[in-house]
Amino acid sequence: MRATFIESEGDHLEATIKVGDLELHVMDEFGGSTLATDTEIEIDIFVGLAFEDESWESMFNSNSDCKKQLEHQSSWRYRAYGVITQIQPDVLVDVGFATLEAPINTNDINVVGVPIAFTIERLGANAS
């Protein structure tokens, strides 16, 4: 995915990037400390750490509007809203601008196409 580098506090610390018009705060795993502002980079966005204490019911009942987006909460913490696109080998969720891994495991094919929401404690980005 193409992104514009804005700033970084250093490797494995918080960085700010833009993907289209979306500004994201991510864990810098792409060497941002060596980049100049406005440098175009190729990255992969991933869930570095998900909130593990969220209930199944909360995740499956929190996106009745079928939104596909990330809602910034603080630092590199986000609320992810999307639709499940696959369950094997990982549960993947379309959040609009990217596909992210959900913090659940299931073999139930009936969840494909179902809206879901979950909390990302740390959104990460690495060089692709």
Asked whether the predicted pLDDT for residue 42 surpasses 90, the reply is: yes
Residues 43-102: tens digit of each pLDDT: 999 999 999 899 999 999 999 999 999 999 999 999 999 999 999 999 999 999 999 999
Give the predicted TM-score (pTM) of the model.
Answer: 0.94
Structure tokens at 94: 């379309």
Residues in the chain: 128
Give residue 52's pLDDT.
87
Give residue 80's pLDDT.
98
Residues 105-122: tens digit of each pLDDT: 999 999 999 999 999 999
User: Cα Rg for the chain, rounded, in angstroms?
Assistant: 15
Bridging pattern class, strands 40-50 and 69-74: unpaired
